[in-house]
């Protein structure tokens, strides 16, 4: 890594429970987000020569980069599809940075659209894949179709709950510390008008009194599905731009894919964010202690606990103490998920993971208003896909 | 009959389901590295050998982890909440997903010894492998 690549612009829809506008095709969502991101970056469309998009795309199952490039009117030197669930945004960022570093291209548009599209009038509703399976595949020949679904091992809640339950048996479990993650992040959301739960503070008692969904996870420890979308642009740091927003240099990154189901992991408490983060920090020549803020993927509170431990912010088994000992709000000594995290910002499908990346960039740029943290030069960002299936890590540094 | 999703058997996995229907447990063992394999595969995921042999095992093991799902994971499971979802580590090493039966909530403990229970969902057609305490 020679440090050529930077995130130069971002765009994000405010998450909504349901989209309140007319349905938009994925192509139009991508075009809309692309325009917003280019405007934020101060780049012209002619400067964009790379594209990273997701594999879930209503209008096509194959040849998606060419279709999107054509629709947007872009000529591309790099076209990438990323299929890493909630780890996708960070995965796009590092793939784009690597492509820029290698000289393949100069500016990569990364887009994750997550609003519903218009229903196809010719297709009957409910045809094809059934709903409610989340990350679980019920397709013929998928191991999950045989060995998970018939037993009710479906979607993500119970997988994360089983990881938490094993953590409880091996290291002990402090429900109040887990609740504090949700409470401190809610405090951050209350300083972020774009957060879904803006203006709705909660207490640890609220979290622990909320409905038990799958022991030991309560409702308020589980992310709320939303619709939305996000985009960002990774470019050569010296690219000509029409504004002077600070850029976020991509200093280090890592990725690790472990298992589709944590049931089959050698040790479900040793998560993929460990190897991903060690590589990211080594590449950057930095350590977790150097970070000014951490934007940690938070589909569940247990995800945050395990990430803080395995990424090296604290020792294994001491996550609850770390959480008790630190103020995790934007005012605090360990600013964590300063936008509210997905738990309080809302999880717009696969764009949920982009919320962490967008927040890190905007904090580095000093554009976060009330919740702006005073030290904001170095940020850690993580992404998590499936049930601790795959994780990605990113170290960003504000341009001098 | 049941409205719940049933296993979609494949040519690869049929020996496993045939054994379960006959109330014993067969899993694959690698002839080369001797490690055991679950779920059924073409190859050994440890050494990539293609030489796998189906062998009958006791099916006993210990509870690696579990959860009590108080919200049905699919509508079809609404009659069985809380669902006692579990991961068992067989004595031979592999992990498998199952549900616990015949146990009160407060009797379930990570690390407890477990034995298989053959649940004939559709007798002669579909049997599922569940687990309970080995007392």
pLDDT in tens, A354-369: 999 999 999 999 999 9
Measured from the Cβ of residue A65, the count of other Cβ atoms closer than 10 Å reads: 18
Q: Which member of A133, A148, A169 has the closest CB to residue B97? A: A148
Cα–Cα distance, A274 to A266 (Å, whole number): 14
CA distance B5 to chain A (A): 5
pLDDT confidence of residue A119: 81
Model confidence band, residue A249 (pLDDT cutoffs 50, 70, 90): very high
Nearest CA in chain B to A168: B110
Residue A213 lies in a domain: no
Residue A205 lies in a domain: no
Contact at 8 Å (CB) between A388 and A163? yes
Q: What percent of chain A has pLDDT over 70?
A: 97
In terms of CATH architecture, what is B59-135?
Answer: Beta Barrel (2.40)
Residue of B31, B4, B33, B23 lying closest to B129 (CA atoms): B23
What's the number of domains chain A is made of? 1
Phi, psi of A226 (to 5 degrees): -145, 180
Cα–Cα distance, A286 to A250 (Å, whole number): 13
Residue A30 lies in a domain: yes
Cα–Cα distance, A106 to A83 (Å, whole number): 23
Residue A339 has pLDDT above 90, yes or no: yes
What is the mean predicted confidence (pLDDT) over A14-37?
A: 95
Supply the CATH number for residue A87's domain: 3.40.47.10
What pLDDT, in 10s, does the model give residues B31-50?
999 999 999 999 999 999 99
**For A110, how many CA atoms within 13 A lie in the half-sphere containing its CB?**
28
pLDDT confidence of residue A129: 52
> Which ipTM score applies to this complex?
0.96
Residue A167 lies in a domain: no
Within chain B, which residue ranges are assigned CATH 2.40.50? 59-135
What is the mean predicted confidence (pLDDT) over A13-30?
A: 95
What pLDDT, in 10s, does the model give residues A77-122?
999 999 999 999 999 999 999 999 999 999 999 999 999 998 877 6
Q: What Cα–Cα distance (Å) separates residue A147 from each residue in A143, A235, B7, B16, B17?
A: 6, 44, 7, 11, 11
Q: Cα–Cα–Cα angle for A269, A253, A38, nearest 5°?
A: 125
* Per-position DSSP letters for A148-176, written without gaps between them: TGGGT--SSHHHHHHHHHHHHHHH---HH
Q: List the domain range (segments joined by +) for residue A19.
A: 5-118+222-398
Looking up tokens 């409205």, which residue turns up? B3
Q: Which residues contact A31 (CB under 8 A, 6 or more apart)?
A: A71, A72
CA distance B4 to chain A (A): 7
The H-or-E segment that residue A236 falls in is: strand A228-236
pLDDT confidence of residue A121: 75
Cα–Cα distance, A214 to B69 (Å, whole number): 4
Residue A58 lies in a domain: yes
Residue A125 lies in a domain: no
Residue A323 lies in a domain: yes
pLDDT confidence of residue A3: 86
Nearest CA in chain A to B129: A151
Residue A271: strand, helix, or coil: coil
Residue A206 lies in a domain: no
Nearest CA in chain A to B10: A141
pLDDT confidence of residue B82: 98
The H-or-E segment that residue A360 falls in is: helix A352-364
């Amino acid at each position: 890594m020679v440090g050529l690549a930077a995130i130069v612009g971002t765009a994000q829809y405010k998450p909504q429970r349901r989209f309140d506008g007319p349905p938009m095709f994925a192509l139009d969502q991508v075009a809309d987000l692309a325009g917003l991101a280019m405007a934020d970056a101060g780049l012209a469309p002619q400067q964009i020569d790379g594209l990273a998009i997701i594999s879930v795309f209503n209008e096509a199952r194959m040849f998606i980069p060419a279709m999107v490039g054509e629709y947007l009117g872009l000529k591309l030197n790099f076209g990438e599809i990323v299929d890493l669930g909630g780890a996708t945004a960070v995965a796009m960022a590092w793939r784009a940075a690597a492509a820029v570093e290698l000289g393949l291209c100069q500016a990569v548009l990364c887009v994750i659209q997550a609003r519903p599209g218009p229903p196809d009038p010719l297709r009957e509703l409910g045809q094809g894949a059934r709903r409610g399976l989340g990350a679980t595949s019920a397709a013929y020949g998928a191991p999950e179709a045989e060995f998970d679904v018939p037993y009710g091992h479906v979607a993500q809640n119970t997988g994360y709950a089983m990881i938490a339950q094993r953590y409880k048996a091996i290291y002990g479990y402090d429900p109040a510390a887990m609740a504090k993650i949700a409470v401190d992040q809610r405090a951050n959301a209350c300083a972020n008008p774009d957060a879904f739960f803006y203006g709705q503070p909660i207490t640890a008692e609220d979290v622990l009194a909320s409905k038990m969904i799958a022991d030991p996870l309560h409702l308020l420890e589980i992310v709320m599905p939303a619709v939305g979308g996000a985009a960002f642009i990774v470019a050569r740091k010296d690219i000509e731009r029409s504004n002077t927003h600070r850029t976020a240099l991509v200093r280090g990154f890592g990725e690790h894919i472990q298992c589709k189901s944590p049931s089959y992991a050698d040790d479900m408490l040793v998560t993929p964010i460990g190897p991903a983060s060690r590589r990211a920090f080594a590449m950057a020549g930095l350590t977790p202690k150097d970070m000014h803020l951490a934007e940690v993927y938070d589909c569940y509170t247990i995800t945050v606990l395990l990430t803080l431990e395995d990424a090296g912010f604290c020792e294994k088994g001491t996550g609850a103490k770390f959480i008790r000992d630190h103020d995790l709000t934007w005012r605090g000594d360990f600013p964590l998920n300063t936008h509210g995290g997905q738990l309080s910002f809302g999880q717009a499908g696969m764009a949920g993971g982009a919320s962490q990346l967008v927040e890190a960039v905007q904090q580095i740029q000093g554009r976060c208003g009330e919740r702006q943290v005073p030290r904001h030069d170095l940020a850690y960002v993580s992404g998590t896909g499936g049930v601790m299936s795959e994780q990605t890590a990113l170290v960003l540094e504000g341009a001098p | 009959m049941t409205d719940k999703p049933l296993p979609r058997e494949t040519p690869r996995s049929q020996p496993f389901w045939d054994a379960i229907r006959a109330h014993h447990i067969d899993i694959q063992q690698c002839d080369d590295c001797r490690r055991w394999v679950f779920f059924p595969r073409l190859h050994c995921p440890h050494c990539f050998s293609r030489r796998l042999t189906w062998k009958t095992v006791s099916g006993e093991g210990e509870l690696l982890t579990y959860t009590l799902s108080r919200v049905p994971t699919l509508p079809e499971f609404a009659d069985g909440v809380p669902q006692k979802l579990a991961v068992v580590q067989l004595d031979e090493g592999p992990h498998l997903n199952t549900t616990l039966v015949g146990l009160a909530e407060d009797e379930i403990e990570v690390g407890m010894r477990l034995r298989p229970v053959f649940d004939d969902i559709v007798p002669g057609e579909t049997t599922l492998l569940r687990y309970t305490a080995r007392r």
